[in-house]
Structures are given as C-alpha cells and as structure tokens.
Amino acid sequence: MEKLKEPYLLYLGDVSETLSAKTSIGVAQWRRDCCIGVAKLPDCRVKVENLDVMSMAEAATRGAKTLILGLANPGGSIAASWIPDIVEALNQGLDVASGLHVRLESFPQIVEAAAKSGARLINVRFYDEALPVGTGKQRSGKRLLTVGTDCSVGKMYTSLALTQEMKKQGLNVDFRATGQTGILIAGSGIPVDAVISDFISGAAEILSPDNEDDHWDIVEGQGSLFHPSYAGVSLGLLHGAQPDALVLCHEPTRKHMRHRPDYKLPELEKCLATNIELAKLTNPQVKAVGIAINTSQMENREQAIAYMETVEKQLGLPCVDPGVNGVARIVRNLA
C-alpha cells in the first residue's frame, strides 16, 4: 500500500450504525494522533468522540492531507451519495484512500477530479502482487490468530490490543493486518477478503513468514467459520496462518449472524472446538489461549462481568473484554 499522507480526515458518509463506520472508528481509536476530524452527510447518525465534524474546505484549511473512506458495508460498494464529497475532497487537494471493494477509478467524476488536482486515489482493499498457493509447510516463529463467532465482533481490536500488551511486556511481536481497517492502522498488510480463494492461505503464509523462535505474529482474523457469507476467507486464513494459539472473539447480544437473520450464532464451545479442529490441518499443536468478549452493547457492567465469569468457568480459559480490562491475562496464558 502507498504510504498515506497525514493528517487524516475520516469519512462517515450517511451510515446509521456504528458497525458500518468501523473503519473510521478503528483508525480514530488506534491512530488518533493522525486524525484531524470527520466529514459526513446530514443523515449520518454516527459520532466519533473528540473529533470535530468539518467540511472538506475546512479540513483542507486545517491541513488535512488524506480523506479516508472509513466505511464498511455488505459488498464494499461506494454509494452515489458519497461521490460529491469525494470529488470535493479531491478538488481541495486531498488524497482519497478507500477500504471498499469497488475501486475509486470506477467513477469518472472521481478520476477527473483527481487528474485536475493531482491528488492520489488509493485503494486499500486490493492486492495486485502475485501470491502463491498455500503449502502448509511448517514455519519457524510463533503465531496467534483471532477467530470469531461472527464478523465485526472485535477480532481486529483484540489483535491490536494483544500486540500492544505483548510489546509492553517486552515480547518480540508484530501485528499482521488482513483487513482494510487494520491495514490503514498498521500501514501494511494483505486484504485477504480481496484475494482469490485459491491464494488466501498462501497470502497468510506470506504475511506471517519464518521468524525468530521467540517472535510472535498476531494475525488479524476475518469473518467466521459459521457465517454463510464469509466462512471461506476464515478457513483459508486459519490454514495459512498456521496458528500456535487462537483467541475466540464474541459479541453476546447478537441475535443472529450479521446481515443474515436466518442464521443464529454458534455456541462458544462448538465454535472454538471447530476452529481448533480445522486449524490442526497445518498445526497439530494449536491451542486456545483466551476468549475476548465485546461487552459494549450489554445493559450494564454487572451483567457483563457475570457473563464473562460464566464463560470463563465454562471454557476454562481467561475471558476478558479487551476494551475494558485489557488482555494481559490472555498474554500470560501464552506461556
């Protein structure tokens, strides 16, 4: 990925729910020092704390260099309602970086505006370099993969929190981004959901290659083995990452799979056991080391604590909310 110019203006478009703006919110959480503000349409109901809403002209005046289309919708499309704002950003001299599946160059108005201003169009969710098929060959070093009961349950956040905590403890560790938000935060990675299916496991092998024996790669998980839309990318990543350790991520208030009301979420024990069993294809020694619960939608703190205590007793693994009480207990369980 081309290096993005800082500071960033985060675009929220007209989304009505937080999960649909998770890329902007993720960049704001983990790269706040690089963010100057947010831009959005009048119908947008999502807020990003401690960042001002501003127009493209105001952002340019304040020194913004890149507009990040920090949106996540089914299919990764660019809505027609966003195009005037994108064009205006380009007219103001801002580069535009998109984490969506549709290329910015698909829209003549955007291409024309970029050509006039000399601003760059950066498509983060594409990987044009040749990739090998996975080999399953054992690699040196250690790897942890976050897996989930559903998509958008906190796998990226947990991966970043684990990386941060391990660095704090003096461990040799790197975060390996596999999705658009993680790539925008880390500045590098491979968007595995944009990779042809035959090469997903190979992409994961390239992303987490041989390393020193004490080195950990924290590989950002994607989707869920139990999601009818995204199980394919989850399985390819599971095999290619060749994880030594798994952390299961879950959001307990979900009534069904995201965008799939006919599919219920799997039971935690079944989900964890299935991930372990399938991961054994490329690493027979894989083990689960912790459970990460996103309790942000639960009614109160007492309910969240009781739920996590129940899960911990049920599964016999450290159970934490990375955003509330950190992941130190899971890191200690890596030994």
pLDDT tens track, the chain, 335 positions: 789 999 999 999 999 888 889 999 999 999 999 999 999 999 999 999 899 999 999 999 999 999 999 998 877 899 999 999 999 999 999 999 999 999 999 999 999 999 999 999 999 999 889 999 999 999 999 999 999 999 999 999 999 999 999 999 999 999 999 999 999 999 999 999 999 999 999 999 999 999 999 999 999 999 999 999 999 999 999 999 999 999 999 999 999 999 999 999 999 999 999 999 999 999 999 999 999 999 999 989 999 999 999 999 999 999 999 999 999 999 999 98
Task: Tell whether 112 and 189 lie within a shared domain.
Answer: no
Residue at a domain's end among 123, 150, 180: 123
Record the tokens describing residue 39, joined without a space.
């831009």
Task: Tell whether 202 and 268 lie within a shared domain.
Answer: yes
Asked if residue 299 is part of any domain, the answer here is yes
Instruction: Report the CATH number at residue 53.
Output: 3.40.50.720
Please tell me the distance from the alpha carbon of residue 306 to that of residue 298, in angstroms, as a whole number. 11
Instruction: Report the CATH number at residue 147.
Output: 3.40.50.300
Task: Tell whether 183 and 316 lie within a shared domain.
Answer: yes
User: What pLDDT is attached to residue 74?
Assistant: 77
Asked if residue 131 is part of any domain, the answer here is no
Asked if residue 2 is part of any domain, the answer here is no
Asked if residue 255 is part of any domain, the answer here is yes
Which domain range does residue 326 map to? 142-332
Task: Tell whether 104 and 171 lie within a shared domain.
Answer: no
Task: Tell whether 193 and 277 lie within a shared domain.
Answer: yes
Give yes or no for a contact between 11 and 36, defined as CB atoms under 8 angstroms apart. Answer: no
Task: Tell whether 117 and 156 lie within a shared domain.
Answer: no
Asked if residue 3 is part of any domain, the answer here is no
Task: Tell whether 206 and 322 lie within a shared domain.
Answer: yes
Asked if residue 182 is part of any domain, the answer here is yes
Please tell me the distance from the alpha carbon of residue 66 to that of residue 71, in angstroms, as a whole number. 15
Task: Tell whether 241 and 318 lie within a shared domain.
Answer: yes
Task: Tell whether 53 and 178 lie within a shared domain.
Answer: no
